[in-house]
Amino acid sequence: MSGRFDEFHDELRTVAGELLAKDAVVDWPLLVEAGWTGLEAPESVGGAGAGFREVAVILQEMGRAATRSAYLGGAVLSVGALVSLQPSTTRDALLGDIATGAVRTAVALSRDGQEVQAAAPFCVEPSSTGLRITGRSEFVPDAEGADQLLLLSNAADVPVIVVTTPQAVGLSVTPQPVVDETRRLSVVVADSMMVDESSVWRFDGDPEARMRRLLDRATVAVACDSLGLAEAMLSATVSYASVRHQFGRPIGSFQAVKHACADMLVRISVARHLVSAGVDAIADDSADATAAASMAKSYAGAAAVDVVGKAMQLHGGIGYTWEGGVHVYLKRAALNRSLFGSPAAHRKQLAQRYSQPA
C-alpha cells in the first residue's frame, strides 16, 4: 500500500480497533457516527472522499473483531456500486443519504453468492405496462432491513442497476440464517416486479467491466475480513500459549505449539501481501484486478480457516467451548471462504490464463 498514507492508515486502524473492541454488534447509527458509511463517497455529496484502501482498513479491523454490522452490504458494496454508475442528481442524493445514514441500501450482485463469473442475477424486460424485473439473488449481505435495494440486472444484455424499495410488489427479501451468526444474508427474489425507466441506473464506462469490478470488490472485501480474523486468532493463541501452563511450563514453550504458531504467522504474512495487492488493484482499478482479487480471496480465504482451526486446537478444551469464542471466528472464516467464490473456484478462474481449454 502507498507509503505516504501509512500514517493515516495506522491512525484509522487504531481508531477503528478501539471502537470495534467495545461491542461485537455495531449498528448502523454507530457506523454513520464513525464516518464509515460515507468513507468512499465523494466529498461533493457529503462523503469523506477516501478510497478502497481506507475501506480495506475498516474491513480488516471488523474481521479482527468479528464485528456484526451492515458495513459490507450497506457501505462497501452499495457505495462501490453507486460510484461506478453514471453521475446524476438522484444517484448523488442516494450516496449523500448513505453518508448521512438516512438511507441504508444493499446490493444483490450474485445469483448464488459464490460464483466467480460475473453474471447479473436479474433481468429487465419491457412490457406494455412498464419494465418487468425477474430474477433471484442468494446470500445477499445486509439486505434484511435495508431501505433500498440495488439489483444487478441485465437489460438487453447490458448490465444495469435497478433501484427499488424492498416493499415493491413482486419483490421479496427472505433471511437465510447461516451457522455464522455474525453475518446477515438474505435471498432476494423479483417475480415480475414492475418498475419505471427512472429506476434503471446505468454504469459509467464499459458496463461488463464495471460489473466485473463490483464482484472483484466484494471478493477482496471478504478477503480483508478473513485476514483480520486470522490475525486476531494468531494473537489470541500466542497470548493463551504464553500463560497456559502444562507440565510446569507455558505450553507456548513446547515446539509442537510454537512451530504451529510460526506456521500461522507465515500463512498470515503471505496472505497479507496477497490481500494488499488485491486492495491496491481495486483501489487503482488495475487491468489485472480480477486475478489479484482471486489470488487474495483464494489464499486468505483458505488460510483463515486453517489459522483459526489451529487456534481452536491450540486453545485445547476451552477453544471448543461456546464461551471461549473461537467458534465465532471459525464459523465466520468458513463462511468467508465460500462467500463470493471458494478458493478452488478462484484457482480455476486463474488457471484459464495458462491456456485456453482444449
Tell me which residues touch another protein (CB under 8 A): 234, 238, 241-242, 249-250, 252-253, 255, 257-259, 261-263, 265-266, 269-271, 273-274, 276-277, 295, 298-299, 344, 346-348, 350-351, 354-355, 357-358
Tell me whether residue 79 or residue 345 sits nearer to another protein (CB atom). Answer: 345
Tell me whether residue 100 or residue 276 sits nearer to another protein (CB atom). Answer: 276
Tell me whether residue 1 or residue 168 sits nearer to another protein (CB atom). Answer: 1
For the chain, first and last CA: distance in Å?
Answer: 39
The least CB distance from residue 104 to another protein, in Å, is 35
How far, CA to CA in Å, does 244 sit from each of 3, 239, 257? 39, 9, 12
| 148 backbone dihedrals φ, ψ, rounded to 5° | -140, 150
The least CB distance from residue 355 to another protein, in Å, is 6
Helix axes 207-243, 289-314, angle to 10 degrees: 20
The least CB distance from residue 271 to another protein, in Å, is 7
What is the number of helices (H) and of strands (E) in the chain?
12, 10
Q: Where are the alpha helices (DSSP H) in 34-164?
A: 52-64, 71, 78-83, 89-100
Rounded to an integer, what distance in angstroms lies between the CA atom of residue 120 and that of residue 211?
A: 8
Q: 76 burial class (0-12, 13-18, 19+ CB within 10 angstroms)? A: buried
Give the pairing of strands 158-164 and 200-202: antiparallel
Greatest Cα pair distance in the chain: 81
Rounded to an integer, what distance in angstroms lies between the CA atom of residue 40 and that of residue 33?
A: 15
Tell me whether residue 198 or residue 255 sits nearer to another protein (CB atom). Answer: 255
The least CB distance from residue 286 to another protein, in Å, is 14
| 87 secondary structure, DSSP code | P
The least CB distance from residue 293 to another protein, in Å, is 12
**Ramachandran region of residue 54, left (φ > 0), alpha (ψ -120 to 50) or beta?**
alpha
Tell me whether residue 318 or residue 351 sits nearer to another protein (CB atom). Answer: 351
The least CB distance from residue 261 to another protein, in Å, is 5
The least CB distance from residue 263 to another protein, in Å, is 7
Tell me whether residue 7 or residue 196 sits nearer to another protein (CB atom). Answer: 7
Tell me whether residue 179 or residue 262 sits nearer to another protein (CB atom). Answer: 262
Q: Which residue is it, cell 459509467?
A: 204
